[in-house]
Amino acid sequence: MDENRINILNDSTRTISKLQLLTVFFNNDVIYKIYLRTQVIHQLFATNPDLDINKLELFHLQFTVTLIDLLKKIKKSNESRADLLLDEVQLNNELIGQMDDTVFTEHDFSNDKQRQALKMSQSLRKLFDVLSQELPDYPFAKNINLFSARYAPDYFDEIPVELLDELLRYDAADLYTHKYATIQRKLMGKLNKHDFKLTFFCGLKTGDITLEVYKFAEIEQYFLYSPSNNIFLFCDVSKIAGVARENKLSKKERVMQELLDKNVRLQSSAGVMKTHLPAEVISLLEEDYKKIADVDFLQHMSNFDVQANTLKAMLNTDLI
Instruction: Tell me the C-alpha distance between 152 and 210, whole Å.
Output: 7
Confidence of residue 295 (pLDDT cuts 50, 70, 90): low
| pLDDT score recorded for residue 6 | 92
| pLDDT score recorded for residue 87 | 95
- Judge if pTM exceeds 0.75: no
| pLDDT score recorded for residue 103 | 47
184 beta partners: 175
Instruction: Tell me the C-alpha distance between 172 and 288, whole Å.
Output: 56
Mean pLDDT of the chain: 87
Chain centroid to Cα 271, Å, comes to 7
Per the CB < 8 A criterion, the answer to whether 246 and 196 are in contact is no
Q: In the chain, what percentage of residues exceed pLDDT 90? A: 67
Confidence of residue 1 (pLDDT cuts 50, 70, 90): low
Domain ranges of the chain: 3-82+276-315, 108-246
Instruction: Tell me the C-alpha distance between 273 and 88, whole Å.
Output: 15
| pLDDT score recorded for residue 56 | 92
Confidence of residue 243 (pLDDT cuts 50, 70, 90): confident
The larger pLDDT score, comparing residue 150 to residue 216, is at: 216
pLDDT tens digits, 173-192? 999 999 999 999 999 999 99
| pLDDT score recorded for residue 298 | 64
What does the pLDDT average to over 122-136?
93
Instruction: Tell me the C-alpha distance between 206 and 284, whole Å.
Output: 67
| pLDDT score recorded for residue 105 | 40
The length of the chain is: 320
What does the pLDDT average to over 3-18?
94
Confidence of residue 237 (pLDDT cuts 50, 70, 90): very high
What does the pLDDT average to over 15-25?
96
Q: Tell whether the model's pLDDT for residue 250 goes beyond 50.
A: no
Q: Tell whether the model's pLDDT for residue 226 goes beyond 90.
A: yes
| pLDDT score recorded for residue 299 | 62
pLDDT tens digits, 190-223? 999 999 999 999 999 999 999 999 999 989 999 9
Of 100, 150, 110, 155, the residue nearest 249 (C-alpha): 110
pLDDT tens digits, 75-121? 999 999 999 999 999 999 998 888 776 544 445 787 888 899 999 99
Confidence of residue 257 (pLDDT cuts 50, 70, 90): confident
Bridge pairing between strands 182-184 and 175-177:
antiparallel
